[in-house]
A and B are shown apart, each in its own frame.
Chain A
Amino acid sequence: MNPSDLNSRNPRAALGLAPCRLCDPRAPELARTNASSLRRFGLLAAAMFGFGFALIPVYDVFCDLTGLNRDAAQALANNTQVDFSRRVRIELVANVQDGAVWRFGAPSRPVDAHPGQLVRVEYELENLTGRPLVGRAVPSYGPAAAAAHFKKIDCFCFREQRLAPHEKIRLPVLFVLDKNVPRDLGVVTLSYTFFEQGGGKRT
């Protein structure tokens, strides 16, 4: 078949005119199917936009379930028995995001504790400015797998901290390392980073 015949079957095309979509008998039906495809794909795109945001809670739930990262460790401690057969060294670390306004100190010595034993340590926080400050500590654990074994009974990181100008406070943490903490985990690190709430943002 001569290629150009394909087009000459349509008189409008033969004259070089735009094809008249409406005179094609298939046109109304095709327009309907196309419109419904458009709707479906549009909905899919909108759903995926939402999914991008949903990934944040999904990720948190995933971490809770698997005991990765942070929040899982906020669960209250069970009444545990103490495993006197071994000790775990707990290093305490303090970080502060804006050294100009806070001084945030960790106990200088690491703590040795039996799994299951109740441990209390105190951090120190000082407001270096002449204005009242509100801040919050974010915990982090090293290695990440340790997070699942920290059972905190009370922690300053559960709440916002408010400090009057130049006030200096002590911040207690009360926790138990559960007795299932793996034997090869000889040293674990509990770290807090202190952030000012609603301030210190770089633009």
Chain B
Amino acid sequence: MPRPRAIGAFIAAWLSLSAPLVRADWRLNLPAPKSEMAARIYDIHTLILLVCLAIFVVVFGAMFYALFRHRKSAGHAARHFHENTSVEVIWTVIPFLILIGMAWPATKAVLDQKDTANPDLTVKVTGYQWKWEYDYLQDGVKFMSVLATPREQIENKAAKGKNYLLEVDEPLVVPVGKKVRILLTSNDVIHAWWVQELGVKQDAIPGFIRDTWFRADEIGTYRGQCAELCGKDHGFMPIVVEVKSEADYQAWLAGRKARLALAAADADKVFGVDELKARGEKIYAANCAACHQADGKGLPGVFPGLAGSRVATGPAAAHIDLVLRGKDGTAMAAYKDQLNDADLAAVLTYERTAWGNAADAVQPAHVKARRD
């Protein structure tokens, strides 16, 4: 159905011409659809918009005509009719018929949206406060996806990048033209996984799995955001989907698997303190700074500071345990399954040596020893 979309584009163009302030990149409509479902939603929206616009013009045309012609200042005298059964029946029945016409394409779309059968690829997506985890069930590849925009940009200390707040460290990668089924759940509160250009949004509900699907038509990078209020950093957990060709996707998958093997090897290495610290700073920024803050001072009364704290400057074992297992009754999550031994050692070392803290470094082997 290219026609309604063309009309929609025309309306958008007309609106943008009529608004004097408009610049070329101002988006007035849904983004250009990149999947068949998104395209159908786009068309249904255009159809309803046109119907509403037509009704609006007719009804309010009549009203403004009356306001102008039947005003007292123009000397119009009121005519005292106050009902007319046939008119009233007509304007009850006609909207009803219009609604049936609008419900028809929507019904078909709902049925197709719910059809998650026979996918080519299933990815389990888990929402965390405030990041996403992607788990390629068939391939054993699993990783966290965290906001990549630096804090300085958010705090207006640096110029904002092109994809401000819509960039992550590790995007979801899927092959083009394949039916991807998304299995959704959450680890804490309700989140919602939403990529507009692909026409998919689904709540992630703790304790339950929900599924939805999409099939991307074009290679490209598509950006979305969490769409359900999930606490403090709800606005800072974007979704990035990279759609690749089948060959690129396979290459990416192979690279991912190789990295997993490498990470396993890391666990047995011994690193220098500076090396750990440098690596840890990045992990800290991605996982910890949201609560404990980049300066390690925390938010008084809400999130404890780490600079000079008892845990971060005390015995390593207790510190490792806290980060591995989290703390009950607080927002401190368990990082046991989120980070590998080397990453944990790095972030622990960073916390123990940054902001004037001067405790011992932690090596991957120490973390491994305390896992069980």
| A-contact 0/1 string along B197-241, CB 8 Å cutoff | 000000000111111000000000000000000000000000000
Q: Tell whether B156 is near chain A: CB-to-CB under 8 Å.
A: no
| A-contact 0/1 string along B290-326, CB 8 Å cutoff | 0000000000000000000000000000000000111
Q: Tell whether B119 is near chain A: CB-to-CB under 8 Å.
A: yes
| B-contact 0/1 string along A90-133, CB 8 Å cutoff | 01010101111100000010100000000000000000100000
Taking a contact as CB atoms under 8 Å apart, the answer to whether B334 and A193 are in contact is: no
Bound Cα distance A156, B336 (Å): 25
Closest to A70 in B: B208
Q: Give the segment of B71-79, B109-117, B165-173 that binds chain A.
A: B109-117
B331: A residues at CB distance < 8 A: 202
Taking a contact as CB atoms under 8 Å apart, the answer to whether B122 and A100 are in contact is: no
Q: Tell whether A191 is near chain B: CB-to-CB under 8 Å.
A: yes
* Given contacts A97-B206, A142-B210, A185-B117, A166 and B325 within 8 Å (CB-CB): no
* Given contacts A110-B138, A166-B372, A200-B328, A187 and B122 within 8 Å (CB-CB): yes
Q: Tell whether B18 is near chain A: CB-to-CB under 8 Å.
A: no
Closest to A189 in B: B183
Minimum-distance CB pairs A-B, first 3: A100-B325, A100-B334, A186-B118
A166: B residues at CB distance < 8 A: 372
B277: A residues at CB distance < 8 A: none
A143: B residues at CB distance < 8 A: 114, 116-117, 211
Bound Cα distance A166, B334 (Å): 18
* Given contacts A91-B137, A189-B209, A191-B209, A142 and B336 within 8 Å (CB-CB): no
Taking a contact as CB atoms under 8 Å apart, the answer to whether B137 and A93 are in contact is: yes
Taking a contact as CB atoms under 8 Å apart, the answer to whether B329 and A100 are in contact is: no
Taking a contact as CB atoms under 8 Å apart, the answer to whether A100 and B117 are in contact is: no
* Given contacts A99-B337, A110-B137, A193-B185, A187 and B117 within 8 Å (CB-CB): yes
In the assembled complex, the CB of B322 is this many whole angstroms from the nearest CB of chain A, namely: 10
Contact partner of A101 among B115, B124, B325, B330, CB < 8 A?
A: B325
Q: Tell whether B2 is near chain A: CB-to-CB under 8 Å.
A: no
Taking a contact as CB atoms under 8 Å apart, the answer to whether A142 and B372 are in contact is: no
Chain A residues touching B, range = 20 to 34
Q: Tell whether A52 is near chain B: CB-to-CB under 8 Å.
A: no
Bound Cα distance A71, B140 (Å): 30
Bound Cα distance A195, B210 (Å): 18
Closest to A194 in B: B207
Contact partner of A201 among B116, B137, B206, B329, CB < 8 A?
A: B329
A141: B residues at CB distance < 8 A: 209
Bound Cα distance A191, B337 (Å): 18
Bound Cα distance A185, B118 (Å): 7
Residue of A143, A189, A191, A200 with most chain B CB atoms under a 10 A cut-off:
A143
Taking a contact as CB atoms under 8 Å apart, the answer to whether A202 and B122 are in contact is: no
Bound Cα distance A108, B126 (Å): 17
Bound Cα distance A100, B325 (Å): 4
Bound Cα distance A97, B330 (Å): 14
25 contacts across the A-B interface (CB closer than 8 A) = A95-B187, A95-B207, A98-B326, A98-B328, A98-B334, A99-B337, A99-B338, A100-B326, A101-B325, A108-B140, A110-B138, A140-B207, A140-B209, A141-B209, A142-B116, A184-B117, A185-B117, A189-B209, A191-B185, A191-B209, A193-B206, A193-B208, A195-B207, A202-B328, A202-B329
A95: B residues at CB distance < 8 A: 126, 185, 187, 207, 209
Bound Cα distance A69, B211 (Å): 13
Q: Tell whether A2 is near chain B: CB-to-CB under 8 Å.
A: no
A97: B residues at CB distance < 8 A: 187, 206-207
Q: Tell whether B244 is near chain A: CB-to-CB under 8 Å.
A: no
Contact partner of B181 among A99, A187, A200, A202, CB < 8 A?
A: A187
A16: B residues at CB distance < 8 A: none
In the assembled complex, the CB of A169 is this many whole angstroms from the nearest CB of chain B, namely: 16
A144: B residues at CB distance < 8 A: 210
B138: A residues at CB distance < 8 A: 110
In the assembled complex, the CB of A153 is this many whole angstroms from the nearest CB of chain B, namely: 22
Taking a contact as CB atoms under 8 Å apart, the answer to whether A199 and B207 are in contact is: no
Taking a contact as CB atoms under 8 Å apart, the answer to whether A138 and B207 are in contact is: yes
Q: Tell whether A33 is near chain B: CB-to-CB under 8 Å.
A: no
Taking a contact as CB atoms under 8 Å apart, the answer to whether A93 and B119 are in contact is: no
Q: Tell whether A203 is near chain B: CB-to-CB under 8 Å.
A: yes
In the assembled complex, the CB of A67 is this many whole angstroms from the nearest CB of chain B, namely: 15
In the assembled complex, the CB of B134 is this many whole angstroms from the nearest CB of chain A, namely: 13
Closest to A182 in B: B117
Residue of A99, A101, A166, A200 with most chain B CB atoms under a 10 A cut-off:
A99
In the assembled complex, the CB of B195 is this many whole angstroms from the nearest CB of chain A, namely: 19
Taking a contact as CB atoms under 8 Å apart, the answer to whether B211 and A189 are in contact is: yes
Bound Cα distance A186, B122 (Å): 12
Residue of B138, B209, B328 with most chain A CB atoms under a 10 A cut-off:
B209
| B-contact 0/1 string along A163-189, CB 8 Å cutoff | 000100000000000000010111101
In the assembled complex, the CB of B70 is this many whole angstroms from the nearest CB of chain A, namely: 30
Per the 8 Å Cβ criterion, residues 52-87 of A in contact with B are: 69
Taking a contact as CB atoms under 8 Å apart, the answer to whether B334 and A140 are in contact is: no
Residue of B207, B329, B372 with most chain A CB atoms under a 10 A cut-off:
B207
Taking a contact as CB atoms under 8 Å apart, the answer to whether B329 and A187 are in contact is: no
Taking a contact as CB atoms under 8 Å apart, the answer to whether B115 and A184 are in contact is: yes
In the assembled complex, the CB of A176 is this many whole angstroms from the nearest CB of chain B, namely: 20
Bound Cα distance A190, B219 (Å): 31
